[in-house]
Structure 1
């Protein structure tokens, strides 16, 4: 049974953005999977490139541990995404507008982060993920 792009994306968002579960996130990748954020400078808190499931696990656990406060939690009801399925069955693109912060009362403390993620899949796992987002919004 193959895993759909929708399932892969949903599992990735749940493990990463919603629960900050580095173990679950790493298990979504192939053993030698790559997670990279090409727009992130080398000295940023978010790792620019992680190669291999264990490096993804270690690096993301350290990143999640350094995050402070709840202001960066996505507002699921206000956030939106579109998955673009390509001619290559092992590639899909996620176009995302994530709403962060605020208290849900329209207090103006919200910010929308727009990003694009390119997923390359092998055997139902993420073999390569390129995550393009604004580096200044990641602390």
Structure 2
């Protein structure tokens, strides 16, 4: 991502790479000292990942094969008085591969993006709301 990319351009690129399941490209969107926080992550999920390489390592080990994600449907994007901070309401849409069960998982995500890189990604989604995801 270019250092001149706007926060919304970074978020669109994030959507593209996640739908393509390109977890290396996902990790590359973060600053070297970027952070992911998952306050409601639950069992098997770390509450915090620090640094691009820790994010890359965790992203590589998460088994997404149990889920077939077809869309990250953005419901709303909220800009704040801080131009680096964006709040996104979205629903992950797809199905559980083993059962064909439809999947719709709503969440709220808070981002701090500076110079085309994600500094902070705080994900408010509970791991229990993602059926079939194996994190162990």
Q: TM-score, normalised by structure 2?
A: 0.81
Decide whether aligned partners of structure 1 residues 58 and 124 sit closer, same or farther in structure 2, where only a CA change above 3 A counts: same
Aligned length: 127
- 8 Å CA contact 2:23–2:60 kept in 1: the answer is yes
Decide whether aligned partners of structure 1 residues 88 and 49 sit closer, same or farther in structure 2, where only a CA change above 3 A counts: same
Distance 2:26 2:37 in 1: 14
Q: How much does 1:50 deviate?
A: 0.9
- 8 Å CA contact 1:32–1:53 kept in 2: the answer is yes
Gaps of 5+ in 1: none
Q: How much does 1:102 deviate?
A: 7.5
- 8 Å CA contact 2:7–2:114 kept in 1: the answer is no
Q: Select the structure that is richer in strand.
A: 2
Distance 2:114 2:96 in 1: 38
Distance 1:84 1:48 in 2: 24
Decide whether aligned partners of structure 1 residues 88 and 111 sit closer, same or farther in structure 2, where only a CA change above 3 A counts: same
Partner SS state of residue 120, structure 2: strand
Q: 1:99 aligns with which of 93, 107, 113?
A: 93
Structure 1 vs Structure 2 CA RMSD: 2.3
Partner SS state of residue 88, structure 1: coil
Partner SS state of residue 84, structure 1: strand
Mapped pair 1:67 → 2:52:
no
1:35 maps to what in 2? 36
Gaps of 5+ in 2: none
Decide whether aligned partners of structure 1 residues 86 and 67 sit closer, same or farther in structure 2, where only a CA change above 3 A counts: same
Q: How much does 1:48 deviate?
A: 2.8
Residue deviations 1:26-47 (CA, integer Å, cap 9, x gap)? 1111110001111012x31x44
